[in-house]
Amino acid sequence: MSLSRRQVIVAIPAATLAVALPKSPSIAQDGRKIVTFWFGQANSDGQAALRRDLVEPFNASQDKYLLQLEIKGAAVNNLLKVALVAGSGPDIVQTAGPAYLTAIANAGQVLPLDGFAETYKWKERFLPALLNTGVYGGKLYALPRDYESMHLFYNKDVFSQNGWKLPANRAEFEQVADAALAKGIIPFGAGNADWKGVNEWLVTVFFNNVAGPDNVRKALSGELPWTAPPFVEAVELSKAWYNKGYFGKNYFSLTIEQSFLQVVNGKAAMALNGTWSFGTKSYGMSKPDTAMDVAPIPGLSAAVPGSLHHLACGATLSIAKSSQNPEGAAAVFEFMLTRQFYQEMNRDWPGKWALPVKDLPPEMLKGIGYPMFEKTITAMHDAFDKGQYGYTTWTFWPGATNGYLIEGIEQVWLNRVTPDAYLSRIQTLFAQELKEGKVPPLPQRAS
Amino acid sequence: MWLFALPAVLINVVIILIPALLTFAAAFVVWDGVGVPVWAGFANFQRMSDDPVFWSSLGNNLVWTLIFLTVPVIMALVMAAALLVAPKGRLVVQCIIFLPRILAVAVIGRIFQGMIFSPVTGVVAWLNERGFSIADPLADPDRSLYAVAAVDIWHWWGFLAVVFLAAMRQISIDQIEAARLDGAGFFTLMRYVLLPGIQPTLALMMILTVIWSFQVFEFIYIVTRGGPAYGSEVLATLAYRHAFFEGDIGQAAAVSCVMSLFGLCATAVYMRLQIREGAQSA
């Protein structure tokens, strides 16, 4: 087939117009409207849980919509941005937390959910502290898929064999850590060989548990510079602990799993890790005979007298602006709020879909056979509900600042830059991003 | 004739020229990848030059280039010459040294990370258990770049050796035998016969090495992700970090422009050499 010049000239704008025209919703063979959902990383167990607990029961629950799930892997965040700009993204936009959502929401690539929130009473059902992380300019753009917090995981057998009691403050922490080192036990099992984000888990703990959540909040609001003395103390303490060997000799060589298993196997005493650890089966924490136990992390300075939970949202759920089936996407969200889904998903993949909904946990978790997970979620839910929490870097810090926070702390620990220089650079980057409106929204404190 | 070239030209324009021009344009805007780009003039270049990590990354690229212009080239030349003068078992040796080249980069990265350098599961752990005190080089910001370079050299030098051997085999056998009859030893033969004989191939591979050294990404990203403490960060990993972790496309594009600048310089040198060679042979 040969095309004349005139045909080519006509074809180009026609093709452009075809791309620009609104798409009609995809229809399945049985006539149902298709709802597309891209998911990031999930191993075979996770994929099976997603199919068994979400896709199949949702599709069986009604005859209007058909949910299609695609596992996109680790690059999903980058794929998503490109697809949204091109208008070809999925109906359901899942991001890796408010820090990722900010740019997408500011660019208007996702729809406001206020209408659906009104219909389904979402604003009354979610914990405000978590729901407010999806509010931009007074409009709700995302629902929180889960809540997370840093915790102190420890081997209770190691503690009892050595006559140690669970530390309740910095002095006791250092006492236990020094005693562990003297016995050849690693105080904290930690490693970032497979995920640099481990650095920010630790920085989150030091910022909040040393400087205190009020100072962190002030700094995130731009009322206090990151170079203020409480943050200097926090970074200096992290450096002192690293240099004393509290995180072991192989922090940069061990993976997360290897380092946590050191605690499970008694080679290390404790781990500062997140609630997502409950979902890793190799740790065996759901077994009745596990040596592991967990507690909130105690304050590490006079500014933080008690233990602290750290507010984190590991993923957000929105509806793409280009979605031709927003009602279907909202119906999927509503399905996720059913008791059946909540129970089954948390049984099969603990912590991954811990929806911060008022009327579901914690009593819903009873009977899933995971006491440690149940008690942690219960305490976390209570703390977040009462407004007693610190702030996690991966939820509340803007991208460039958080990027340097993660990488730069290694420079501090390895004596490449001073704590002052590190915080000064953080302040410079943060001030710029605050000016550009890139800082994720802070939830209002409960009165 | 132009019609024959059209498909190649079209592919190059669509896949190389347009993205290159867009990247160049992106260096002059502030853009998070999803919103509306805002004109920023030279602000991205200013911020880049104020960032100490940019300069340390550029330094690492220069160190990487120097390493790859010397270590694997010398290894490959010696091996190629040895295989030329002692052809027995040449095929087997070529297969063995070429093998790393056909393995996936991700696989090689994980092998060295987990089975060689790891102080828990690798050869380093085995040595430590036998009384040697060896630390994981990937965990040391002063050594991590060299450790990753060693991995890439293992992957790369066999390919170079095969290329050099192919070039050496184009040299007249009479010339080589005459040199040996005159009493030339291995290194004299190399200095006065083999190296001059493969000069165009050597020059091409050196120039390509410069270009590739400024594009190096995958080994570093897989093995150390530029760390620890930016110890092995190079321009490509820095640009990737800006674009995909920090959502700062403008800054990433500015860094990419610097990378391209070095590549362009190397390409210009190569073109000049080719023109000179053409003029000499005419």
List CB contacts (< 8 A) between A106 and chain B. 32, 35
Min Cα–Cα distance to chain B from A438, Å:
10
Please answer whether residues A312 and A392 qualify as being in contact, where contact means their C-beta atoms are separated by less than 8 angstroms. yes
Q: Could you tell me if B33 lies within 8 Å of chain A, comparing CB atoms?
A: yes
Which chain A residues touch B55 with a CB distance below 8 Å? none
Residue with tokens 């005859």: A63
pLDDT of B277 reads: 78
CA–CA dist B224, B37 (Å, integer): 32
Name the token pair of A346.
Answer: 């948390």
Residue-level pLDDT at A6: 52
Asked if B6 has any chain A CB less than 8 Å from its own CB, the reply is: no
CA distance A411 to chain B (A): 5
Query: How close B50 comes to chain A (CA, Å)?
Result: 11
Write the pLDDT tens digit of every residue in A416-425: 999 999 999 9
Confirm if A140 and A113 have CB atoms less than 8 A apart: yes
Do the chains contact at A250 and B33, CB–CB below 8 Å? no
Nearest to B27 by CA among B217, B256, B237: B256
The answer to whether the Cβ–Cβ distance between B246 and A403 falls below 8 Å is: yes
Q: What are the structural domain ranges in chain B? A: 69-281
State how far residue B226 is from chain A, nearest Cα, in angstroms: 9
CA-CA distance, B40 to B112, in Å (whole number)? 43
The closest CB to that of A78, out of B30, B227, B244, belongs to: B244
Residue B8 sits at the chain A interface (C-beta within 8 Å): no
CA distances (Å), A329 to each of A67, A90, A104, A117, in order? 9, 10, 18, 13
Is domain B69-281 classified as CATH 2.40.30.330? no
Q: What is the pLDDT of residue A426?
A: 97
A250:B136 CB<8 A: yes
Q: Does B138 touch chain A (CB under 8 A)?
A: yes
Residue found by looking up tokens 């904290």 in the block: A188
Q: In chain B, whose CA is at the least distance from the CA of A404?
A: B246
Nearest to A107 among B35, B228, B242 (CB): B35
Domain positions in chain A? 23-144+314-355, 150-311+391-435
Per-residue model confidence (pLDDT) at position A97: 87
Which of A88, A102, A141, A253 should we substitute to test contact with B (largest number of B Cβ atoms within 10 Å)?
A253
* Residue B55 near chain A (CB below 8 Å): no
Residue of B nearest to A84 (CA): B34
Find chain B residues with C-beta within 8 A of A399's C-beta: 32, 245-248
Each residue's pLDDT tens digit, A240-266? 999 999 999 999 999 999 999 999 999
Residues of A with CB under 8 A from a CB of B: 77-78, 81-82, 84-85, 103-104, 106-107, 109, 193, 196, 249-254, 258, 399-400, 402-403, 407, 410-411, 413-414, 416, 436, 438
**Looking at domain A150-311+391-435, which of 3.40.190.10, 1.20.120.530, 3.20.20.70, 3.60.150.10 is its CATH number?**
3.40.190.10
Name the stretches of chain A with pLDDT < 50.
1-3, 8-10, 12, 15-19, 21, 447
Mutate to test the interface with A, among B144, B221, B246 (most CBs of A within 10 A): B246
Residue A165 phi, psi dihedral angles, 5° rounding: -105, 155
Interface test with B, best of A82, A104, A252 (most B CBs within 10 A): A252
pLDDT for A194: 87
B38 sits in which H/E element = strand B38-39
Give the tokens for residue A403.
């990027």
Residue at token pair 């019609």: B3
Contact B246 A399 (CB under 8 A): yes
- Do residues A398 and A99 lie in contact, with contact meaning Cβ atoms separated by under 8 Å? yes
pLDDT tens for A132-167 read 999 988 999 999 999 999 999 999 999 999 999 999
> Using the beta-carbon criterion (under 8 Å), do A250 and B244 form an inter-chain contact?
no
Buried/exposed A15-36: b ≥16 CB within 10 Å, e otherwise: eeeeeeeeeeeeeeeeebbbbb
The CATH code of the domain at A23-144+314-355 is 3.40.190.10
User: Which residue of chain B comes nearest to A74, CA vs CA?
Assistant: B244
Q: Which residues of B touch A84 (CB under 8 A)?
A: 34
Per-residue confidence in pLDDT tens, chain B, 282 aa: 788 899 999 999 999 999 999 999 999 999 988 888 999 999 999 999 999 999 999 999 999 999 999 999 999 999 999 999 888 888 999 999 999 999 999 999 999 999 999 998 999 999 999 999 888 999 999 999 999 999 999 999 999 999 999 999 999 999 999 999 999 988 899 999 999 999 999 999 999 999 999 999 999 999 999 989 999 999 999 999 999 888 899 999 999 999 999 989 988 988 888 888 788 776
CA-based R_g, chain B, Å? 23
Interface probe, candidates B22, B32, B138, B230, chain A, greatest A C-beta count within 10 A: B32
pLDDT value of residue A4: 52
Could you tell me if B247 lies within 8 Å of chain A, comparing CB atoms?
yes
Task: Report ipTM (2 d.p.).
Answer: 0.85
Distance (Å) from the C-alpha of residue A192 to the closest C-alpha of chain B? 10
Q: Using a CB-CB distance cutoff of 8 angstroms, which residues of chain B are in contact with residue A253?
A: 117-120, 136, 138-139
Is B120 close to A253, i.e. CB distance below 8 A? Answer: yes
pLDDT of residue B35: 86
Burial of A198 (0-12, 13-18, 19+ CB in 10 A): buried
- B245 neighbourhood in chain A, CB within 8 Å: 399, 403
Q: Give the number of residues written for chain B.
A: 282
Q: Do the chains contact at B138 and A109, CB–CB below 8 Å?
A: no
Q: Do B139 and A253 touch (CB under 8 A)?
A: yes
